[in-house]
Structure 1
Amino acid sequence: MNWTTVQRILGLLLMLFSITMLPPVVVSFIFRESSWLPFIQGFALTLAVGIVIWFPVRGVRKELRLRDGFIVVASFWTVLGTFGAAPLFLADVPSMSLTDAVFESMSGLTTTGATVLTGLDTLPKSILYYRQQLQWLGGMGIIVLAVAVLPMLGVGGMQLYRAETPGPVKDNKLTPRITETAKALWYVYLAFTTLCTVGYFLAGMDWFDAICHAFSTVAIGGFSTHDLSIGYFNSAAIDLIAIAFMFAAGINFSLHFFAWRFVQVKHYAADPEFRAYTKMLLVLSLIVAASLAWSNTYGSISDSVINGVFQAVSIATTTGFTTANYSAWPGAIPVLLIFSSFVGGSAGSTAGGIKVIRWLLIYKQGVREIARLVHPSAEIPVKLGNNAVPFRVVDAVWGFFSVYIVVFGIMLLAMMSTGLDQVSAFSAVAASLNNLGPGLGEVAAGFMTLSDTAKWISVVCMLLGRLEIFTLLVLITPTFWRH
Structure 2
Amino acid sequence: MRWRGILRTLGLLICLFSVTLIPPALIALWYQDGGGLAFLVAFVVSLIVGFWVWYPNRAAYSDLKVRDGFLLTVLFWSVLGCVGILPFWFTGELGLSFTDAAFESFSGLTTTGATVLSGIETLPHSILYYRQQLQWLGGMGIIVLAVAILPMLGIGGMQLYRAEIPGPLKDAKMTPRIADTAKHLWYIYVALTVACAAAYKVAGMGWFDAIGHAFSTVSVGGFSTYDANLGYFDSALINTICGIFLLLSAMNFAVHYAAITGRSFRSYTQDSEVRAFMLVQVTLFVVVFVTLLSQQVFGSAAETLDQAFIQSVSISTTAGFTTADFSVWPLFIPVLLILASFIGGCASSTAGGLKVVRVLLLARQGVRELNRLVHPQGVYSVKLGSRIVPPRVVEAVWGFFAAYALVFAVIMLGLLATGLDQVTAFSAVAACLNNLGPGFGEVVQNYADISAPAKWMLMLAMLFGRLEIFTILVLLTPTFWRS
> How many Å separate the matches in 2 of 1:123 and 1:345?
32
> How many Å separate the matches in 1 of 2:99 and 2:421?
22
TM-score, with structure 2 as normaliser: 0.99
Are residues 1:309 and 2:309 paired?
yes
Map of 1:80 onto structure 2: 80
Counterpart AA for 1:7: L
Counterpart AA for 1:117: L
> How many Å separate the matches in 2 of 1:293 and 1:312?
14
SS at match of 1:212: helix
Counterpart AA for 1:300: S
Map of 1:217 onto structure 2: 217
Answer whether contact 1:273 1:356 (CA < 8 A) is retained.
yes
SS at match of 1:63: coil
Aligned-pair identity in percent equals 55
Of stretches 323-332 and 466-475 in structure 1, the one that deviates more from structure 2 is: 323-332
Map of 1:149 onto structure 2: 149
* Shift of residue 331, structure 1, vs aligned partner: 2.6
Map of 1:329 onto structure 2: 329
Answer whether contact 1:116 1:447 (CA < 8 A) is retained.
yes
SS at match of 2:311: helix
Output one character per residue of 1:285-320: Cα deviation in whole Å (capped at 9) or x when no partner. 111111111111000111111101110100000000
> How many Å separate the matches in 2 of 1:470 and 1:331?
34
* Shift of residue 150, structure 1, vs aligned partner: 1.0
Answer whether contact 1:347 1:355 (CA < 8 A) is retained.
yes
Of stretches 24-33 and 246-255 in structure 1, the one that deviates more from structure 2 is: 24-33
Map of 1:112 onto structure 2: 112
> How many Å separate the matches in 2 of 1:261 and 1:224?
33
Question: Alignment RMSD, CA only?
Answer: 0.6
Output one character per residue of 1:230-281: Cα deviation in whole Å (capped at 9) or x when no partner. 0100001000000100010000001111222221110111000000000000
Map of 1:28 onto structure 2: 28
Map of 2:182 onto structure 1: 182
SS at match of 1:76: helix
Are residues 1:388 and 2:388 paired?
yes
> How many Å separate the matches in 1 of 2:246 and 2:319?
7
SS at match of 1:174: coil
Counterpart AA for 1:228: A
> How many Å separate the matches in 1 of 2:22 and 2:396?
41
Are residues 1:14 and 2:19 paired?
no
Q: Which runs of 5+ in 1 are unaligned?
A: none
Q: Matches of residues 375-414 of structure 1 in structure 2 within 5 Å?
A: 375-414=375-414
Map of 1:71 onto structure 2: 71
Counterpart AA for 1:187: Y
SS at match of 2:20: helix
Counterpart AA for 2:437: G
Answer whether contact 1:343 1:356 (CA < 8 A) is retained.
yes
Map of 1:91 onto structure 2: 91
Q: Which runs of 5+ in 2 are unaligned?
A: none
> How many Å separate the matches in 2 of 1:46 and 1:305?
47
Of stretches 253-262 and 238-247 in structure 1, the one that deviates more from structure 2 is: 253-262
Output one character per residue of 1:155-206: Cα deviation in whole Å (capped at 9) or x when no partner. 1101100000000000011111111111000000000000000000000000
Counterpart AA for 2:354: I
* Shift of residue 34, structure 1, vs aligned partner: 2.6
SS at match of 1:85: helix
* Shift of residue 448, structure 1, vs aligned partner: 0.7
Counterpart AA for 1:247: L
SS at match of 2:372: helix
Counterpart AA for 1:463: L
> How many Å separate the matches in 1 of 2:29 and 2:135?
22
* Shift of residue 33, structure 1, vs aligned partner: 2.2
Answer whether contact 1:290 1:305 (CA < 8 A) is retained.
no
Map of 2:199 onto structure 1: 199
Output one character per residue of 1:92-131: Cα deviation in whole Å (capped at 9) or x when no partner. 1111111011100000000000000000010000000000
Counterpart AA for 1:113: G
Are residues 1:416 and 2:416 paired?
yes
Of stretches 101-110 and 28-37 in structure 1, the one that deviates more from structure 2 is: 28-37
Output one character per residue of 1:129-169: Cα deviation in whole Å (capped at 9) or x when no partner. 00000000000000000001111111110110000000000
SS at match of 1:113: coil
> How many Å separate the matches in 2 of 1:391 and 1:250?
26
User: What is the aligned length?
Assistant: 483
Map of 1:458 onto structure 2: 458
Of stretches 62-71 and 258-267 in structure 1, the one that deviates more from structure 2 is: 258-267
Q: Matches of residues 322-361 of structure 1 in structure 2 within 5 Å?
A: 322-361=322-361
Counterpart AA for 1:322: T
Counterpart AA for 2:169: V
* Shift of residue 344, structure 1, vs aligned partner: 0.3
SS at match of 2:68: helix
Counterpart AA for 2:30: I
Answer whether contact 1:327 1:440 (CA < 8 A) is retained.
yes
* Shift of residue 332, structure 1, vs aligned partner: 1.1
TM-score, with structure 1 as normaliser: 0.99
SS at match of 2:10: helix
Map of 1:163 onto structure 2: 163
Of stretches 327-336 and 99-108 in structure 1, the one that deviates more from structure 2 is: 327-336
Map of 1:477 onto structure 2: 477
> How many Å separate the matches in 2 of 1:303 and 1:479?
56
> How many Å separate the matches in 1 of 2:462 and 2:472?
12
> How many Å separate the matches in 2 of 1:383 and 1:164?
25
> How many Å separate the matches in 2 of 1:454 and 1:428?
10
> How many Å separate the matches in 2 of 1:365 and 1:249?
27
SS at match of 1:381: coil
Q: Matches of residues 259-338 of structure 1 in structure 2 within 5 Å?
A: 259-338=259-338
Counterpart AA for 1:161: Y
Output one character per residue of 1:355-383: Cα deviation in whole Å (capped at 9) or x when no partner. 00000000001111111111100110111
SS at match of 1:146: helix
Map of 1:43 onto structure 2: 43
> How many Å separate the matches in 2 of 1:331 and 1:421?
18
* Shift of residue 80, structure 1, vs aligned partner: 0.4
Map of 1:135 onto structure 2: 135
* Shift of residue 441, structure 1, vs aligned partner: 1.0
Counterpart AA for 1:435: N
